[in-house]
Amino acid sequence: MDRDRQAKTRAAWLETLARYKLDPDHAASAEIWSPRLEACSRDELIAIQNAKLAALVPFLYENSDFYRHRFDRLGLIPSDLRTVADLPRWPVVDKAEMAEDALLHPPYGTYTAMSEDLWAERGWMMFSSSGTTGAPRVFRYSHLDRDYWCWANARALVSMDFRHGDTVFMMTGYGPHVWAWGVQYALAKIGLPTIPGGGMDARARANIIVRFQPTILLCTPSYALHLGRVLQDLGHDPRQTKVRQLFLAGEPAMGIDRTRERIQDLWGARIVEFYGCTEAAPHVGGYSCAASQPKDGPVFAHLMEDIGIWEVVDPETGARLPPRRRGLTVCTSLNSESSPQLRFLVGDYTEFDDRPCACGRTHVRAIGCFTGRADDLINLRGIKMFPGAIEEAVRSLPDVGDEYEIVLSANDAGMDTMMLRIEHPNHGTPDEIRDRLRAEARSRLEVQVDVEVLAPGSLPKTEFKAKRVKDLRVKA
């Protein structure tokens, strides 16, 4: 490959990134970091996307073997993709395609624009995401990426009402978890104090909340429930703490009504969340705003469209869908030196609304937020459902515990079955509870399920992403 041409397209891409990094140093107001970006007209937003796309496509062609070979295989050239309107000509890229590339070109694959020279010069951090074939998909990012992450995430934190006077308690580990790293840098950018909470048990964390009075907690939805119960066991009411916001990630929460209501009622605090993925420059993609929980409609999350082109596509055909049609999310990242993926299939089901928001932002909203990724879809005897829908059924029962399990197996006749394992104080007389949950599952999911009612505390507590589905079926 011509190194001069590689350098030229990289320079053009980086210059374009810098040109549209408006208001880079501080928020313009307490509500909106950059009105020039977040409250611009739809025409202005599309113009920004088109300008970035025009620089991105040649950059990927010249700096990523994966993309160059894909262009050649499809019979396309970079000038075929000049604008957002041209994108449907490019079939979506999925995780399996990346995993195959990683197998053929270990250890990093060729699907990013991170070269060995760049890694040596200004490499920052490596993250990984498991592939559908079992091959690790590795993503290396530069310090320039870190700076763009920090800026984008800070904008989202301002939208979510992180403000001076807050103290943030981060109950996360710092392995390959892109959310924790990105938020940590963003908090530093907006100048908020943090309490690191990794490596502690729940009692220690509960005591920190009581003693040092943080106002914002960062954790998973499952852990927010668990920690609230631990506080109660220690004689404290979570609603009487200083916690006013729960910044949750790792599992769906906002879009699952019963879970959101349970957590917010337990803490007397508001839930906010990010949305994104490791593959497509894993800073924030979606985020909450002040209007994201309307009283007269479904919850939603904004998508940050000046740093990413977001689409919804038909799950069967891959065709782009218009606003207010439900499909799978696709992202073209426009904010990365190392991993600006072109039409990557993130794969969450949602629908988009491009009408302006009450908060003042014009960026598209994901209605209902995100409650299920295509990878998580459960197929039980031909009926397809997401774990989030099962969670709604479980949470609908009064006094049911916070933890539950979904066990999939096959009976002696070879028929797939589902067992829901829940905790309940009346576990000694479980018939009524069992019948009610069966009825809820039947009405919501259109399937028959078995139910096991356990004593409170029987199921393991989760600190990071809860593994609620146990699939014991033999795969062909």
pLDDT surpasses 60 at 58: yes
Q: State the pLDDT confidence band at 411, using cuts at 50, 70 and 90.
A: confident
Nearest one of 217, 165, 210, 215 to 192, comparing CA atoms = 165
Ordered domains of the chain (ranges, CATH): 3-140 (3.40.50.12780), 143-373 (3.40.50.12780), 378-471 (3.30.300.30)
Compute the average pLDDT of residues 425-448: 85
List CB contacts of 49: < 8 A, sequence separation 6 or more. Answer: 84, 305, 306, 309, 334
pLDDT of residue 133: 44
Give percent above pLDDT 70 in the chain: 96
Task: Please provide the average confidence, as pLDDT, over all residues in the chain.
Answer: 91
Angle in degrees, 0-180, between the axes of helices 387-395 and 257-267, rounded to the nearest 10: 50
Q: Is the peptide bond before 252 cis (omega within 30 degrees of 0)?
A: no
* The pLDDT value given to residue 276: 85
pTM for this model (two decimals): 0.86
Average pLDDT value for residue range 392-412 = 87
Mean pLDDT score, 376-384 = 76
HSE-CB at 278 with a 13 A cutoff on CA atoms is: 19
- The pairing of strands 344-353 and 327-333 is antiparallel
- If pLDDT is split at 50, 70 and 90, which confidence band does 370 have? confident
Q: Can you tell me the distance from the alpha carbon of 113 to that of 10, in angstroms, rounded to the nearest whole number?
A: 9
What pLDDT does 354 receive? Answer: 94
Q: In which band, very low, low, confident or very high, does the pLDDT at 131 lie, cut at 50, 70 and 90? A: very low
Chain length of the chain:
476
CA end-to-end span of the chain? 43
Q: Which amino acid is at 279?
A: E
* Alpha helices per DSSP H over 64-142: 65-74, 95-104, 116-122
pLDDT band at 352 (very low <50, low <70, confident <90, very high): very high
Residue 175's identity, in one-letter code, is: G
pLDDT at 404 over 70: yes
476 pLDDT more than 60 = no
The whole-number pLDDT of residue 475 equals 62
Q: How far apart are CA 170 and CA 177, in angstroms?
A: 13
Q: Is the pLDDT of residue 177 over 80?
A: no
Handedness of CA 68, 70, 75, 80 (dihedral sign): negative
Phi first, then psi: what are they for 24, rounded to 5°? -75, -20
Which whole number is the average pLDDT over 6-34?
95
Angle (CA) 295-299-304 rounded to 5° is 130
> 301-343 pLDDT, tens per residue?
999 999 999 999 998 899 999 999 999 999 999 999 999 999 9
Q: Which of 100-114, 172-186, 212-226 has the lowest mean pLDDT?
A: 172-186
| Close Cβ partners of 412 (under 8 Å, ≥ 6 residues apart) | none
Task: For the chain, give the percent of residues with pLDDT over 90.
Answer: 67
User: Using one digit for the tens of pLDDT, what is the confidence trace for 78-104?
Assistant: 999 999 999 999 999 999 899 999 999
**pLDDT band for position 132 (50/70/90)?**
very low
Q: Which of these, 123, 125, 95, lies nearest to 109 by C-alpha position?
A: 95
